[in-house]
Amino acid sequence: MRKVISTPNAPQAIGPYSQAIQAGDFLFCSGQGPLDPATGQMVPGDIKLVTRRVLDNLKALLEAAGYSMSDVVKATVFLKDMNQFAAMNEVYASYFTSDPPARTTVQAARLPRDIDLEIEFIAYKESGK
């Protein structure tokens, strides 16, 4: 089973991709940046505010598919400046207070729309739970 997940509570795709794809019990969330879903504009502010917006966008995708943050098994973080890692990580940790997912964090030279942060998720939830 493959199902496209879409919600107005997360930024609309800016290219030929889906916000998320559910494949069986897995949910693959496309990378999200710090865009306000209502306006499509970047949220201004420091990396902590940016991280909150990105994670709230991902949370909206999870919820649209019937998943939660506790179902996330893998996160990939693309950070423009690794000097912002500690501040990003502080906010990130507040979204995963127990049993956090596996994660990879890489410094990216350039991200779409010159954003400072993009995060993608893979979530898993057994059918019927």
CA 99 – CA 83 distance, rounded (Å)? 25
Per-residue pLDDT tens over the stretch 5-24: 999 999 998 889 999 999 99
pLDDT tens, position by position, 36-93: 999 989 998 999 999 999 999 999 999 999 999 999 999 999 999 999 999 999 999 9
Q: What is the pTM of this model?
A: 0.95
Question: What's the pLDDT tens digit per position in 37-46?
Answer: 999 899 989 9
Calpha distance 66→117 (Å, rounded): 25
What domains can be seen in the chain, in order of their start residue? 2-124 (3.30.1330.40)
